[in-house]
Amino acid sequence: MSTHRTFKYYDLIMAGFCTVLICSNMIGASKIVHMWGMTFGAGILFFPISYIFGDILTEVYGYARDRKVVWAGFGALLFASIMAATIVGLPPADGWPHQAAFETAFGQAPRIALSSLIAFCCGSFTNSYVLAKMKLWTQGRKLWTRTIGSTIAGEFVDSLIFYPIAFYGIWSNEQIVQVMISNYLLKTAWEVIMTPVTYRVVNFLKRAENEDHYDRHTHFTPFSLET
């Protein structure tokens, strides 16, 4: 693959991916809601969009370029967690009334961010690897099998890592298991529901970018920024 190739939409997709990742982890991860007869973390209403981004990136641009976006997301989330911890830890001015609110909203941010970083990297690389391999196995046919199949694998790894690290000792064990299972099912269902949208975006990008990458000679190590 040429390292000098440039794309019109790649950077925009990277920016959108990082935005979804930070917002879903920093805003929605610690709130539990009960809807549709299920209990789940509010962040999963938006977090699966990052996996859809990952599917689109790997399908169109290939594993290596998606890997670069994953590391960009890692850096963005790491900075957000450091910033949150720093701001919460700064001594408030006398009479400033919002310190308790900040501690409630962002006090767990470092732990949540750590678990998010680990789970995100493991889940995202699993998702991208499975999709890239399935594209070769299916010879580029039946996109839905690899977008859904890769999400089943990636979201399983993500959920299995994130909730125990983030909330052990804060939530009850039963609550962790319940939310983990509910979230996994909902995140996977999101991928199924969004499949028609994924098809449209993928088809548009393949035409617009004149790119439909197959990872036949890709080195699948996650520890690289080479494209």
Asked whether residue 36 is domain-assigned, the answer is no
Asked whether residue 34 is domain-assigned, the answer is no
Taking CB atoms within 8 Å and a gap of at least 24, the contacts of 5-9 are 5/211, 7/61, 7/209, 7/211, 8/208, 8/209, 9/205, 9/208, 9/209
First to last CA, the chain: 7
Asked whether residue 106 is domain-assigned, the answer is yes
Residue 179 structural domain: 10-28+43-90+101-209
Look at residue 2 in the predicted model and tell me its pLDDT. 45
Asked whether residue 96 is domain-assigned, the answer is no
Looking at the structure of the chain, the number of domains it has is: 1
Asked whether residue 185 is domain-assigned, the answer is yes
**What's the token pair of residue 158?**
């993500």
Look at residue 12 in the predicted model and tell me its pLDDT. 96
Look at residue 48 in the predicted model and tell me its pLDDT. 87
Asked whether residue 177 is domain-assigned, the answer is yes
Asked whether residue 184 is domain-assigned, the answer is yes
Asked whether residue 63 is domain-assigned, the answer is yes
pTM of the model: 0.90
> Along the 227 residues of the chain, how does pLDDT read in single tens digits?
445 688 999 999 999 999 998 888 777 766 777 887 776 767 778 888 999 999 999 999 999 999 999 999 999 988 988 888 888 899 999 999 999 988 877 776 567 778 888 999 999 999 999 999 999 999 999 999 999 999 999 999 999 998 899 888 988 999 889 888 888 888 899 889 999 999 999 999 999 999 999 999 999 999 999 88
Look at residue 1 in the predicted model and tell me its pLDDT. 45
- Element of type H or E holding 69: helix 63-89
